Amino acid sequence: MESIKNVVFDLGGVLVPLDLNRCIAAFRHLGMDAVAEIINPCYPAEMLGRLEHGDITFHETCDAMRQLSNRPDITDEQIEWAYGEFLNPIPVKLLRQIETLRRRGIRTYVLSNNNPASMKFVEEMFRADGHEMEYYFDAVYLSYRMHELKPSEAIFRKMIDASGMIPEETLFIDDGLKNIETARSLGFAVYMPASGEDFGHLLESVADRE
């Protein structure tokens, strides 16, 4: 870890713990069983993939969900709540470890397949220790803003070009195997935490490398 100058984090499943079963239950509670059947964070359904790619709006996604479930009465706000049930609070300990990285001169970033509805919840979670999300990162790269999705090389190359980071000096942390494989092929150091793993020891090793 001596050469690491940057750390890039995924959000869901890495910084933000996920609860798939709770999300599925929330959609079933709304009577949207057909949507509950297609919820998958690793392989998003077509409508969710287009949302994360930035091709359609959240409202258009909600319309597709209402049509799929034959539930025209369900509001965008109710769907936003159900989708937000995916997300668990970010541990304050982890926020402070990222803060320590930055104090030690390590540049920190996010690269995430995400959507504007989920990001409303995520940004609120980052306030758990009294700071805005932007406090913790030099830049946040989100798929729906970049119109690219991991694991494509294109989204990584856009991040590299925008940040000026050198892959060989960058640790990429993601829970998706295909994303890890793309990052490794581009020269990044990589780490894939197991579900629910506390990988704070890794961040501490980067912060204490001197």
Q: Mind telling me the catalytic residues?
A: 10
Whether 15 contacts 114, CB under 8 Å: no
The position carrying tokens 């239950």 is 25
The string of DSSP codes covering 137-169 is -SEEEEHHHHT--TTSHHHHHHHHHHH---GGG
132/142 Cα distance (integer angstroms): 17
CB atoms closer than 10 angstroms to residue 201: 9
Whether 113 contacts 150, CB under 8 Å: yes
205/203 Cα distance (integer angstroms): 5
- Residues paired with 141 in a beta bridge: 111
- Residues paired with 12 in a beta bridge: 16
Closest CA to 23 of 79, 73, 75, 107: 79
Closest CA to 24 of 41, 49, 42: 41
